[in-house]
């Protein structure tokens, strides 16, 4: 086995995040992605606690073909005063037919008395009975010692006894849980070291992020001697989330030399992180360490000058090791080095074209002073750069005019917008009308309709995000507006920008750029 267990709890603990609601099909898809990443264990949920998790384990038995991970069912120890062999909840764990069962048990004396309403001695008996019963049934058992760090601070002797009892009953790992997320790394280091010395058990760590230290606390625990780390992909979880497993694994493997995942698996971390974001329908956090879109993005001109010489001067690792890539951002802070690097990234060699570099830098600085932004709109910048390099405007269609009418129908709660677009494409004049939920949606429909015969490839493009920023709010409704549009072709996405005194005009500019770039990206020539 690897020297540290990598245990993912996205499907159970991560699913408790506010606004995250996973279907059984979603959970099966995420489990497949986690297995591709190479984690050792996937906690699938709590069978018997809700129908969805019970159904997940039923389907997982025939639909999941795990190559790397082992599936774990999560549940609690038997009820107070009962017998594990007769407890329905324990039976549900066995019926899940997973090779691993993870039990949660109280290790905080006050929680035992107030939440379980039983005695400390009975809680130990619950741990001993349930663990030994599941081991006798052929299961590998892990135990999550809930509220361990707070319980250890209150009554270290009792918290330690819970660990010893679980280990003696046959639990392979006892994970110390910072359930309230209130610990700091030095505290975790001290406690894990003391518990390891006093118990001799194999210890794990399960951290929440309420102090912003879940990753640091997890790393501290492993460095102190724990050999099992739990977390969730992208740090999903209730309140402020759980330890982000990708960040934890990357730190342990790339910085501290632990053997966790194969290099080729870790190199897929970025792709898998974003694929799971698509399933959860939660927008990826661009500043997420290692795999975020901005994790290796450079904006300052000084950085760009150094990066031309050696990318490692401003990057702590090669981004390819985690499936990411360096990006150069273009803004009013950009100098010639930034533009040259960005051009190289986009396939344009500007090293011997100083006049083009000078024009692009000047244009970018002028436009950004007017409210445009290109660090978040790579597609619009690529169109600008292409225009400066080739000396010609890329035009798939020529717009004659467009207009939008929004009408509030009598007795209807929702106003309906209607857009008319007149243009020429492929040598034909087109007039198209589109209706939509708002003026931009109506323009989108009308533009697609007008271009449908000339460019049927546009059918696969979908607008997936639309953001508006008021640039000079002191001018009230007369303020300049910036609109960012994100578009996807089903495989990748790109962002375009428009700026105008009118929000609809700004959106139209971004929309036209998004369609133009989509056709360019697909290798379509103007018709």
Can you tell me the mean pLDDT for 305-313?
Answer: 62
DSSP label of 370: T
**411 has pLDDT over 70:** no
Q: Among the listed ranges 260-269, 275-284, 294-303, 513-522, which one has the minimum average pLDDT value?
A: 294-303
Cα distances (Å, whole numbers) of residue 119 to 76, 79, 111, 427 = 17, 12, 10, 84
Q: How far apart are CA 25 and CA 59, in angstroms?
A: 9
How distant, in Å, are the alpha carbons of 14, 294, 379, 437, 459 from that of 510?
36, 22, 10, 18, 18
Give the number of other Cβ atoms within 10 Å of residue 9's Cβ: 29
Q: What is the pLDDT of residue 116?
A: 86
- Domains of the chain in sequence order: 5-280 (3.20.20.70), 297-389 (no CATH), 398-521 (3.30.160.270)
- Give the DSSP letter string of 127-167: HHHHHHHHHHTT-EEEEEEETHHHHHHH-HHHHHHHHHHHH
Residue 432, classed as helix, strand or coil, is: strand
Q: Could you tell me the CA-to-CA distances from 457 to 29, 386, 431, 519, 526 in Å, in that order?
A: 29, 22, 19, 7, 12
| pLDDT-derived band at 413, boundaries 50, 70, 90 | low
Predicted local distance difference test score (pLDDT) of residue 148: 97
Give the pTM: 0.72
pLDDT digits (tens, 9 = 90+) for 140-162: 999 999 999 999 999 999 999 99
The C-alpha R_g of the chain, in whole angstroms, comes to 28
- Reported as a pLDDT band with limits 50, 70 and 90, residue 477 is low
Which residues does 3 contact at the CB level (< 8 Å), separation at least 6?
A: 227, 258, 259, 260
Average pLDDT over residues 66-70: 95
**Average pLDDT value for residue range 16-29:** 94
Whole-angstrom Cα distance, residue 511 to residue 202? 57
For residue 88, give the DSSP letter.
H
Confidence tier at 107 by pLDDT (50, 70, 90): very high
Contact (CB, 8 A) for 71 and 28: no
Nearest to 486 by CA among 504, 512, 462, 520: 462
* Other residues' Cβ atoms within 10 Å of the Cβ of residue 91: 15
- 434: Cα separation from own chain's centroid: 35
Which residues lie below 8 Å from residue 32, measured CB to CB, with a gap of 6+?
64
Q: Which of 174-178, 244-248, 334-338, 479-483 has the lowest mean pLDDT?
A: 334-338
Residue 325 confidence (pLDDT) above 80: no
Greater model confidence, 346 or 192: 192
Lowest mean pLDDT among 279-288, 291-300, 355-364: 291-300
């Amino acid at each position: 086995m690897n020297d540290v267990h990598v245990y993912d709890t996205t499907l159970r603990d991560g699913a408790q995040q506010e606004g995250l609601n996973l279907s059984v099909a979603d959970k099966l898809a995420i489990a497949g992605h986690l297995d591709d990443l190479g984690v050792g264990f996937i906690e699938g949920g709590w069978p018997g606690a809700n129908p969805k998790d019970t159904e997940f384990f039923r389907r997982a038995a025939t639909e999941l073909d795990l190559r790397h991970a082992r599936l774990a069912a999560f549940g609690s120890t038997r009820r107070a005063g009962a017998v594990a062999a007769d407890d329905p909840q324990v039976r549900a764990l066995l019926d899940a037919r997973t090779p691993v069962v993870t039990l949660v048990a109280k290790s905080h004396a006050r929680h035992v008395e107030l939440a379980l309403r039983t005695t400390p001695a009975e809680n130990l008996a619950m741990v001993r009975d349930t663990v030994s019963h599941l081991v006798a049934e052929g299961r590998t058992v892990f135990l999550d010692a809930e509220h361990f760090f707070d319980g250890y601070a209150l009554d270290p002797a009792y918290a330690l006894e819970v660990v010893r009892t679980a280990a003696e009953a046959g639990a392979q790992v006892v994970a110390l849980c910072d359930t309230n997320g209130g610990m700091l790394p030095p505290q975790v280091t001290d406690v894990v070291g003391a518990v390891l010395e006093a118990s001799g058990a194999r210890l794990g760590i399960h951290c929440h992020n309420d102090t912003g230290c879940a990753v640091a606390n997890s790393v501290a625990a492993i460095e102190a001697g724990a050999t099992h780390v739990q977390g969730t992909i992208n740090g999903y979880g209730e309140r402020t989330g759980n330890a982000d497993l990708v960040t934890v694994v990357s730190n342990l493997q790339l910085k501290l030399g632990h053997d966790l995942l194969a290099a080729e698996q870790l190199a897929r971390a970025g792709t898998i992180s974003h694929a799971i974001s698509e399933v959860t329908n939660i927008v990826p956090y661009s500043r997420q360490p290692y795999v975020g879109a901005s994790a290796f993005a450079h904006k300052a001109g000084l950085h760009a000058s150094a990066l031309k010489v050696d990318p490692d001067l401003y990057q702590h690792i090669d981004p390819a090791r985690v499936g990411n890539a360096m990006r150069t951002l273009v803004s009013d802070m950009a100098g010639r080095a930034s533009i040259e690097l960005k051009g190289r990234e986009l396939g344009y060699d500007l090293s011997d074209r100083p006049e083009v570099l000078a024009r692009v830098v000047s244009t970018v600085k002028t436009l950004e002073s007017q409210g445009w932004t290109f660090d978040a709109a790579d597609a619009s910048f690529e169109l600008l750069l292409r225009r400066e390099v080739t000396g010609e405007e890329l035009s798939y269609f020529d717009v004659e005019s467009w207009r939008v009418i929004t009408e509030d129908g009598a007795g209807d709660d929702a106003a309906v917008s209607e857009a008319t677009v007149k243009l020429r494409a492929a040598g034909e004049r087109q007039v198209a009308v589109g209706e939509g939920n708002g003026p931009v949606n109506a323009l989108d429909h009308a533009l697609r309709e007008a271009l449908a015969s000339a460019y049927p490839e546009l059918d696969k493009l979908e607008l997936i995000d639309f953001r508006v920023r008021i640039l000079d709010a002191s001018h009230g409704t007369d303020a300049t507006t910036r609109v960012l549009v994100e578009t996807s072709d089903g495989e990748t996405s790109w962002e375009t920008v428009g700026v105008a005194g009118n929000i609809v005009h700004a959106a139209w500019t971004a929309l036209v750029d998004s369609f133009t770039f989509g056709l360019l990206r697909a290798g379509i020539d103007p018709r």
